[in-house]
Amino acid sequence: MFFEIKELTVYYGLIKALDDINLCLSEGDIVSLIGANGAGKSTLLKTITGLVKAAKGDIIFKNNNLTKVKPERIVKSGIAMVPEGRRVFPDLTVKENLELGAYTLTDKKLENQIFEQVITIFPRLKERIKQPAGTLSGGEQQMLAIGRALMSNPKLLLLDEPSMGLSPKITKEIFMLIKDINLNKGISIILVEQNAHMAMEIAKKVYVIENGTVKIEGTPNELKSNPLVLKAYLGG
């Protein structure tokens, strides 16, 4: 298995944030995580990247257990995260933000190749390459945040609420770009998203997380016919 989580449990102090999570992702696939605010979705992504430590369980990526690995080593192993709220550096230019994403790379030629690929995927970033990131629109900042993550040359991309604060039109554009990155670059993706309709549209498999546990899992078609999912997340 390309990526697998086994019986993962996480605490914030005395509070159990994640309880016995099991999840798997095949190489080249997209997995979506849906659930209410506070369900534990973002905590799961932070635990994968080493920002939050697991109390129990295993995170296996390409046959390596990451549960005790430092965040910078996890990035070097091929995992990158686009955080909730984008978190670009507003006073730095678009180019400088992208270059920061390549801090783990030691091959300058490879960095230049990836840079050219990123500005090809996001032509709007190329147009604004010398602008401070803080002057970009919300959608452009999201493109920059994704582009910055791609600069580390990941094999697995974690996306935390990419549609947050964006209009429906821009959200659709961002999701089309996410799908393109998956299909044409072969990058596997774990997507956390409040917009359940969009999350299901591009995913191979969907996990519904409630109160730190996986309540339901299945293909998008299976979940679309589930009355609990329809009522809680799809307006049915």
Give the Cα separation of 125 and 143 in Å (integer): 8
Give the Cα separation of 189 and 33 in Å (integer): 11
The pLDDT assigned to 106 comes to 87
The pLDDT assigned to 85 comes to 79
The pLDDT assigned to 182 comes to 95
The pLDDT assigned to 236 comes to 57
The pLDDT assigned to 166 comes to 84
The pLDDT assigned to 179 comes to 94
Give the DSSP letter string of 193-224. -S-HHHHHHH-SEEEEEETTEEEEEE-HHHHH
Per residue in 32-68, pLDDT (tens digit) is 999 988 899 999 999 999 999 999 999 999 999 999 9
Q: CB within 8 A of 46, min separation 6: which ones?
A: 52, 81
Which of these CATH numbers, 2.30.30.30, 3.40.50.300, 3.40.50.12500, 3.40.50.720, describes 1-78+157-166+189-236?
A: 3.40.50.300
The pLDDT assigned to 231 comes to 83
Give the Cα separation of 97 and 103 in Å (integer): 11
- Residues in the chain with pLDDT values less than 70: 236
Give the Cα separation of 93 and 110 in Å (integer): 21
